[in-house]
Chains A and B, each alone.
Chain A
Amino acid sequence: MILGKVVGNVVATVKDEQLQGEKLLLVQLMNKAREPVGRPAAAIDVVDAGQGDFVFLVRMREASLATFPVVGPVDLAIVGIVETVNLINVDLELPFGDSRFA
């Protein structure tokens, strides 16, 4: 799952049957520093997110499960509205040799 921000909405009248009635929002995917990752993409919304909300999304096969039992042709779905992200700074390097983490 990945973080993102709702930057707009998408209106599409002519679309696949299984997408009828689904809300489509335009989302910019982000990393933990809230920097954009890739370009904005259309996502189906199952949590009533709104413009400007920080959200988390699921991609690919699992996105189509967000509307279960309806399984439509989707590869990106908003599955939660994010209130807070708490982060720490740690060393991210895998050292050569033996290392213990306990």
Chain B
Amino acid sequence: MIIGKVVGTVVSTIKHPAFHAWKLLVVQPMQLPGQPLEDDFIAVDAAHAGVGDTVLVCQEGNSTRQVIGNPNAPVRSSIVAVVDSLSISR
């Protein structure tokens, strides 16, 4: 899973039915000091995350389909946890 920051929300009324019950959040992967920024992406929220939260995101389709309970959903990325604290050593 990657560590990311929820930096926004996406409002979309017309969408594939598999997304209807799910909040869509914009996630920016976080980087160590000096590392370049990666591209941001959109994930469904399965962990009651909010904008500004640090989260773990699973970007694997099968896992995400299990998490949202739909084996045929065209969904790939899901927020699976909100991070309380981190400890990183050099």
User: Residues on A close to B: CB < 8 A?
Assistant: 1-3, 31-32, 37, 46-48, 56, 58-66, 68-69, 77, 79-102
Contacts and interface: CB of A to CB of B under 8 A. Distances in A.
B30 interface: yes
Contact of B74 (A66, A82, A85, A87): A66
14 contacts: A3-B42, A32-B28, A61-B76, A62-B61, A62-B74, A68-B72, A79-B16, A80-B19, A81-B15, A87-B8, A93-B30, A95-B33, A98-B87, A101-B83
Contact of A94 (B32, B41, B75, B84): B32
Interface of B: 3, 5, 7-16, 18-19, 24, 26, 28, 30-33, 37, 39-43, 51-54, 61, 72-77, 82-90
